[in-house]
Structure 1
Amino acid sequence: MAVALDWINTMCYDFYGSWDTTATSEHATLHNPWSNISTSYGLQSWIAVGVPTVKVAMGMLLFGRTWRLNDRTSMAWGPWEKGGVFIYAKVVGFNRNNSSTMS
């Protein structure tokens, strides 16, 4: 494929989401040492089979996924938006207004 294409766009997000009710995890994991579901694993897989790095484009998201938990006292809590998508500007505002941290 690398010979026939100028570049290869990779979708490096939506690894997990509301469509999968069996697991919860980050929807755009950059690196996950315990799984092959991550951006770094996917990109390294393309490179390992011979695709030149200059032809691999990493697709980044500019939104966050929202969720609703049954218990707000849980360690993870976030806003719910219809459709489950929180645009980037709202993510920044939510974090600023709620002194949010990531761990």
Structure 2
Amino acid sequence: VKIQNIELPGDMKRAMAKQAEAERERRANIINADGEKAAAETLAQAAEILAKTQGAINLRTLNTLERISTEPSQKTMMLFPIELIDAIRGGKK
């Protein structure tokens, strides 16, 4: 078997490069989608745990407030209990 130096035409090189780029992009999209799916599953599990644990969402809210209160901001945050919001709405959800 004799190997020769073969020069591909420019349009063939461009087509092959385009195909290789499309394949890399496809793989990157799959990796991103897998990451998004894993994140969504983890968030769903966390939401389920928070929903089952008495006061957990309040603790999470307080932790979030503590975190954002250390950042300089011109915004004022006002928190109201959900029961108050329901009462204002007339008991409708």
Bin of the TM-score, shorter chain as denominator length: under 0.3
Higher strand share: 1
Structure 1 or 2: larger helix share? 2
Q: Give the alignment's TM-score, normalised by structure 1.
A: 0.26
* RCO comparison, higher one (Cα < 8 Å, 6+): 1
Q: TM-score, normalised by structure 2?
A: 0.28
